[in-house]
Amino acid sequence: MADIFIGNIKGPQGDTGPQGNQGEKGDAATIRVGSVTTTQYGQTARVTNSGTEHDAVFDFVIPQGRPGEQVTRMDNLTLDALTEPSASFPVPAIGDNGSTLFGKISKWFSDMSALVATKFNAANVVNNLTTTASGYALDARQGKAISDGALFAVHTGAIYQNRIQNANLNYVVFNTGYKRAVLTYNIFQVGSADIAPNTAIATGFWKPTHNTEAPLYAYPTDGSKAIGFYINTAGSLCNGNQTLTAGKWYVCQGYYVTD
């Protein structure tokens, strides 16, 4: 008789069966490190188990790190040439190659040496009027000494206001060590009246030596004939043997020795 399939038929759950016997105790699992292999940079790191599930042996494959760049020691560096810029005191910049970098450094020190060479040595500044060696300069304090008459003094003579006007009467006295030398330069305008010959025009000048008159060279500013002037024994500026014309400008100058 042929079998007839009537589908899956599930009967009611039966009673719980008795507990079976305890099985044997299993072995404890172990893990060990096996081989460690270094491979080239860029390879993939790998870990494989060359043991069993219960006695694992892990083998590692580790790639090398990124290769470093080669560095040349400075004491082994040799420059074939220096590229010095034309600008003064150049400053190194990012991107300079070795030739340019050290060329700028060389140019900077060269410029600094040239600058220092132009500076005056402070040790060659002297505070006296006796140094005779070349290459020395006077201390600023000697200006005061000179102004006070150590070497020369500048004076302004008094004038007779009723005879001349707009006057600029000056003289410089040089100390020569034995006698004093006087250099004078004067310009003035005659007042409203003519000045007769051999008349004292201005006073206050140093007296000529040996009680003698000191001749000066003079001329009117309009270019007419030169007129003689002199410093008399009293220290006054006088005209010579010609009359000075009212309103006309005159210039006189000269050099003489005084006590």
Q: Would you write out the chain's pLDDT as a tens digit for each of its 259 residues?
A: 566 656 666 767 777 778 877 767 666 778 888 888 888 888 888 888 888 877 888 888 888 888 877 666 666 667 777 888 888 888 888 988 888 888 888 888 888 888 877 776 778 888 887 788 887 887 888 777 766 655 556 666 667 767 899 988 888 887 766 678 888 888 899 999 999 999 998 888 888 988 788 888 776 666 566 678 899 998 899 988 888 999 998 888 888 888 7
**Are 178 and 95 in a shared domain?**
no
Containing domain of residue 37, as a range? 30-63
**Are 174 and 249 in a shared domain?**
yes
40, part of any domain? yes
**Are 252 and 167 in a shared domain?**
yes
- Per the listing, tokens 């030596």 go with 209
247, part of any domain? yes
Kindly give, in sequence order, each residue whose CB lies less than 8 Å from that of residue 214, ignoring residues fewer than 6 positions away.
Answer: 182, 208, 230, 231, 254, 256, 257
186, part of any domain? yes
**Are 113 and 203 in a shared domain?**
no
Does the pTM surpass 0.75? The reply is no
Number of domains in the chain: 3
